[in-house]
Amino acid sequence: MKISVLFKSVIDSDIAPIVICDLSHTIVYMNPTAVKRYEKRGGEKLIGSSLLDCHNGDSNEKIKKVIGWFEQSEDNNRIFTFHNAKEDRDVYMIALRDDDRRLIGYYEKHEYRQHETALPYEAEVSV
């Protein structure tokens, strides 16, 4: 099995929206959660368009500053961008790098703070 299939599976199974962009800010991939979340803005049709078209000028400047920070050091890979109180989640921008540690893109990472309500695996899976 190709490693790219495994990585895609990880991204697609995430419950948080993931929108992956290249360095020209083109949306190259959206996981199913992101497609659904941004359905009113075009959903899957956003792939191939500029992420900058989805944000206001202030947000675009912040995105560009973060990309500049990512480019300063291969150790600059994750930065907190804001807390969404309504959904109780923190949002980060994450650098994507190739095997030589060169910056090739980025994505937004959502981390929800709500406590899990599902039953633990012991209750769901007979072992």
Predicted pLDDT at 2: 82
User: Does 124 reside within a domain?
Assistant: no
Q: How far apart are CA 37 and CA 17, in angstroms?
A: 7
User: Does 25 reside within a domain?
Assistant: yes
Rg (CA), the chain: 16
Q: How many domains does the chain have?
A: 1
User: Does 107 reside within a domain?
Assistant: yes
Predicted pLDDT at 126: 60
User: Does 46 reside within a domain?
Assistant: yes
Select from 9, 14, 24, 2 the least CA-distant residue to 110.
Answer: 14
User: Does 68 reside within a domain?
Assistant: yes
Long-range CB pairs of 13-18 (<8 Å, 24+ gap) are: 15/112, 16/89, 16/109, 16/110, 16/111, 16/112, 17/108, 17/110, 18/107, 18/108, 18/109
Q: pLDDT confidence of 127, banded at 50, 70, 90?
A: low
pLDDT tens digits along 55-106 = 999 999 999 999 999 999 999 999 999 999 998 999 999 999 999 999 999 9
User: Does 56 reside within a domain?
Assistant: yes
Q: Range of 56's domain?
A: 18-115
Enter the DSSP assignment of 20: E
User: Does 74 reside within a domain?
Assistant: yes
What CATH number does the domain containing 85 carry?
Answer: 3.30.450.20
